[in-house]
Amino acid sequence: MKKVLIDAGHGGKDPGAVANGLKEKDIALAVSLEIKKRLEANYDGVQVLLSRSSDVYLELKERTDLANKAGVDATVSIHCNAGGGSGGFETFRYTKASAASAALQNVLHKEIMDTLNKVAVGMIDRGQKADNLHMVRESKMPAVLTENLFLDVATDAAKLKKNVVIQAIIDGHVNGIAKYLGLKKKEGNQVNNNNRVTVKVNGKKVADGVLDNGTTYTPARAVAEALGATVVYDAVTKTVNITK
């Protein structure tokens, strides 16, 4: 059984970065909860621990102590950024990181950037970096901290308000962790190609839908935006608001 700790940065009295109607602690928690859900639902032989599963404050030492005592195989700390000028995505390992931490960073960074580039135009890759950060320094196992766009950069904040971008961030983390740990997908969780439905708006293909027990599910954002509507997703309340 592989074990991984997902650390949702900040929380409680510490909101992290706050800008453009977004709070870092809320995004980090929503992303972390969904990473755990998808990893455990879709892959065999993995247990996901969370440093926090609600809006509570934890000292940094409490977070790394949890990872170290549990003997997890990897730690991934989820954050958003601020103060970066043009914005973008970046990852951090410890300045004296092991080869294993570097390997985790390589695969995680690539998977997240790949998924983001599929759904958003102009995504900036700020690169793989090393720094003397507590979460990656004090973790006794391979550890990486991800900085998922800048809340105080208007273009990044607009992206983070889109469900498709949040989902890409989640999927990128899931794919990267699964690949690093060598996890295998559970049988029966792959989408049956026979159930895929082509969705077109005014004759133009926008995305695939899924046929499930006689009900067709279509991608709300792709359809709405093709019709000129605006879609805003609240990652905390999991609410989609579509306006024309």
**Which amino acids are annotated catalytic?**
147
Strand partners, 11: 14
Q: Under the phi-then-psi rule, with left for phi > 0, alpha for psi from -120 to 50, and beta for the rest, what region is 11?
A: left
Question: Up-side HSE of residue 85: CA atoms within 13 Å toward CB?
Answer: 2
Lookup result for tokens 């997890």:
72
Label residues 122-141 b or e (16+ Cβ within 10 Å = b). ebbebebebeebebbbbbeb
CB atoms within 10 A of CB 179: 14
Contacts (Cβ under 8 Å, ≥6 apart) of 51? 5, 6, 7, 8, 58, 62, 63, 66, 67
